[in-house]
Amino acid sequence: MKRLLALLVLIVASAAARAEAPVILVFGDSISAGYGLAPEQGWVELLKTRLKTQGYGYQVVNASVSGETTAGGLARLPRALELHHPGIVVLELGGNDGLRALPIAQMRANLAQMLDLSSAAGAKVLLLGMRMPPNYGPEYTKQFAMVFSDLAAEKKAALVPFLLTNIALSPDLLQGDDIHPNALGQPILLDNVWPALKPLLHK
């Protein structure tokens, strides 16, 4: 009986510790949802492992949805914030807006609202920037890239200027669509995110 009671206490204490662990909410599109990969291969899963091995007591919730635009993300975010109460929001949206050549002003407004909502919920925000291929034209690609740097400065958010640095121009790190990083590219994605994320963490 005593052993059973001790086991129950241990289970309850473990559950309480998990419940109290701060949450990192990764809120993105297919790049963060692990499109085309086995579940354990995506950079968000690799992040969970790195946090654990380095002694950071965070839960990571991946609320990324393949094909998501900033408009779709803005519609989903309030519920995600209410449900998970994240301490950190990693915002990785905008790529699908760009690929569909949607108006940059609207994309910027949607991202700005998501940054504001996250901050108002008490979360630190890390914005993951994207860029468009040159075939979208120099003016569009320049304006698109500037959205992320401008918003990060304006909203005082942490920034990764380009999530696909050291990947986008390497076919051996991309899936057959030449858009999504393959399994070999996932550790590089994490290495691109980590220097901006680490200062937001505490042990």
- Which of the residues 172, 177, 178, 202 is marked catalytic? 177
Q: Strand 23-28 and strand 59-62: pairing?
A: parallel
- Which of the residues 29, 32, 97, 180 is marked catalytic? 180
The CA-atom distances, in angstroms, between 38 and each of 47, 97, 168, 189 are 15, 26, 21, 16
Residue in 41, 21, 16, 18 with CA at minimum distance from that of residue 31: 41
- Which of the residues 30, 32, 64, 118 is marked catalytic? 30
- Annotated active-site residue 202? The verdict is no
How far apart are alpha carbons 7 and 16 in whole angstroms?
14
- Annotated active-site residue 180? The verdict is yes
Say which amino acid occupies 110. N
Residues recorded for the chain: 203
Question: CB burial class (10 A; 0-12, 13-18, 19+) of residue 183?
Answer: middle
Radius of gyration for the chain, computed over Cα atoms and rounded to the nearest angstrom: 18
Q: Is 31 helix (H, G, I), strand (E, B) or coil?
A: helix
- Annotated active-site residue 30? The verdict is yes
Q: Is 16 helix (H, G, I), strand (E, B) or coil?
A: helix
The CA-atom distances, in angstroms, between 83 and each of 25, 60, 63 are 11, 13, 11
Structure tokens at 40: 């354990």
Annotated catalytic residues are: 30, 177, 180
